[in-house]
Structure 1
Amino acid sequence: MIEIEGLTKAYDGHVVVDGVSLTIPRGGLTGIIGPNGAGKSTLLGLIARLLAADRGTVTVDGLDVATTAGEVLSRRLSVLKQDNSIAARLTVRDLVAFGRYPHSRGRLGDVDHAMIGRALSYLGLEPIADRFLDELSGGQRQRAYVAMVLAQDTDYMLFDEPLASLDIRHAVSMMHLLRDASRRFGKAVVVVLHDINIAGNFSDRIIGMKQGRVLCHGSAGDVMTGANLTAIYDIPIAVHRLEGQFVTTYALPEGADGA
């Protein structure tokens, strides 16, 4: 499991993550929600050691993220950032193969090729595996990056807004894939999300953040309430169940309806 204790990060005196303590169990999909500036991406970066904490600790299965050797941590935890750009001209297969570096150190063996093939197949990328990334749509490239993380075959996979470049059909498809991966392969998948309906309907657990703090944390059913979401987003939000799915509605500020 991922155990976070008293985690704090500030920039120029402005606290972005403020004393966060929580546990993310192994297995299942955990969504992180909250308004802009809530500290979601910073929290993910701290967990993945992309950022150094000012105070507090993060451990992954008992390994201190701050002090564990990189080659050890990268076989346990993987991360996909928001801004993914590789200058070199690579094919989809080349990119996905990067996910095997912590295991192969560039010398791909039979297991590595099998994992690359599994990731390409799982994300439906086999037909375009030998095309260059700069020839693809934004959604296709995003799926290639997700396949790279899946090929790394870590117990914990972190994704920072993986739906940002996807239309609604591909966003829903991606969430189905991530949730299925968490269950089929026994992974813990942690995803920063902006769409609260998608978060509610695909997450096993949800972390709700505001101003650097965790306001609520629990099962999707526990977190997806009008009171919780209203507190997180500072706008009246109602939560309904329609054919087994969460559907949220909100009150527009006076005069915002264009009348």
Structure 2
Amino acid sequence: MVIVEDISKKYGQKNVISNVSLKINKGKITSFIGANGAGKSTLLSMISRLIARDGGKVSIDGREITEYNSNELAKKISILRQSNNVNLRLTVKELVSFGRFPYSQGRLTREDKKQVKEAIEYMELEDLQDKYIDELSGGQLQRAYIAMVIAQNTEYILLDEPLNNLDMKHSVQIMKVLRRLADELGKTVIIVIHDINFASCYSDYIVAMKNGKIVKDGPTDEVITNNVLKEVYDMDITLENIKGNKISVYFT
């Protein structure tokens, strides 16, 4: 379990995250939603130790994240940021292999190669695995990065805007893969996502944020409501039940 206790972050005089506390359950998908500037990506980055916090604590499985050395943490958490710039001429397979570095230190074992192969298959990249990444479309490249994260085979997978540059078909594919990782492999998936419809359809829990604070968090059906979304986005919201727990969200 991830436990966030009273963490904060300030840039200059601006409070980006203000005394946020949160518990994230294992083996589930938790989505951070909110308008631009709500603090979602900053919160995710502090949970993963990518950026320092000004106060508070973050613990993973009962251990403060500052107590992990870098290699230990890389075996516990994998993270995909919004912008990823690799200035090397790599094939898709070579890029995905980077996910195994915490284990192999660059010398791939049979197990490493197996994990890379499975990650490529998960993302349906077999036909592209020998292509260079600078030959890929934006959506194909995003799928390759997600395959790299899957190959890292961590208990916790953190994704910042994983649907960037993806069309509807591949967005659905990504969310279905994340659902499988949670349901079949027990992975804990934490994502920053702008598409509320995808969040409502595929998430177990939602954290709704505004101005660096949590407006409401809890099971999806308790957070994806007219009142909560109206408060988060400062807009009138229309929710329409389609099938079961699937919801269409309209801003009016």
Verify same fold: TM over 0.5: yes
What is the rounded CA distance, in whole Å, between the counterparts of 2:184 and 2:138 in structure 1?
27
Amino acid across the alignment from 1:6: D
Deviation at 1:177, TM superposition (A): 1.1
SS in 1 for 2:186: coil
**Aligned match of 1:239:** 239
Alignment of 1:211-222 (within 5 A): 211-222=211-222
The question of whether the paired residues in 2 share the 8 Å contact of 1:225 and 1:238 is answered with no
Once the two structures are superposed, the pairs formed by residues 103-118 of structure 1 within 5 Å of their partners are 103-118=103-118
> What is the match of residue 76 of structure 2?
76
Secondary structure in 1 matching 2:178: helix
Give the structure with the higher percent helix. Answer: 2
Alpha-carbon distance between aligned partners in 1 of 2:157 and 2:20, rounded to the nearest angstrom = 20
CA offset at residue 198 of structure 1? 1.0
Q: What TM-score, normalized to structure 1? A: 0.95
Match of 2:249 in 1: 248
State yes or no: 1:181 paired with 2:199. no
One-letter code of the match for 2:171?
Answer: A
2:39 counterpart residue number: 39
- Cα distance in 2 for partners of 1:102, 1:199 equals 30
Question: Percent identity between the aligned chains?
Answer: 43
Runs of 4+ in 1 over 6 A off after TM superposition: none
Q: Within 1, Cα distance between the matches of 2:134 and 2:39? A: 31
For residues 125-140 of structure 1, the aligned pairs below 5 Å read: 125-140=125-140
Query: What's the secondary structure of 1:159's corresponding residue?
Result: strand
1:176, distance to aligned residue in structure 2 (A): 1.0
Q: CA deviation at 1:250?
A: 2.5
State the 1:126 CA deviation: 1.1
Unaligned runs of 5+ in 2: none
Are 2:27 and 1:3 aligned?
no
> Which residue of 2 is the match for residue 147 of structure 1?
147
Q: What is the RMSD of the two structures over their aligned residues, measured on CA atoms?
A: 0.9
Query: Residue 249 of structure 1: CA displacement?
Result: 2.1
Deviation at 1:243, TM superposition (A): 2.1
Give the secondary structure class of the aligned counterpart of 1:30: strand
Question: Hey, what's the Cα distance between the residues in 2 that align with 1:233 and 1:91?
Answer: 41
Find the aligned partners of 1:219 and 1:72 in 2 and give their Cα distance: 30
Aligned positions of 1:52-91 closer than 5 A: 52-91=52-91
Aligned length: 251
Letter in 1 for 2:76: R
Corresponding residue of 1:200: 200
1-structure distance, mates of 2:114, 2:249: 42
Please state whether the residue corresponding to 1:172 is helix, strand or coil. helix
* Cα displacement (A) at 1:238: 2.3
In structure 2, what is the Cα distance between the partners aligned to 1:183 and 1:10?
A: 36
* Structure 2 counterpart SS, 1:140: helix
Q: TM-score, with normalisation over the residues of structure 2?
A: 0.98
Q: Which runs of 5+ in 1 are unaligned?
A: 252-259
Q: Which amino acid aligns with 1:175?
A: M
Deviates more, 1:131-140 or 1:176-185: 176-185
Is 1:156 matched up with 2:165?
Answer: no
CA contact under 8 A between 1:38 and 1:211: conserved in structure 2?
A: yes
Give the letter for the 2:247 counterpart.
Answer: F
- 2:240 aligned partner, one-letter code: H
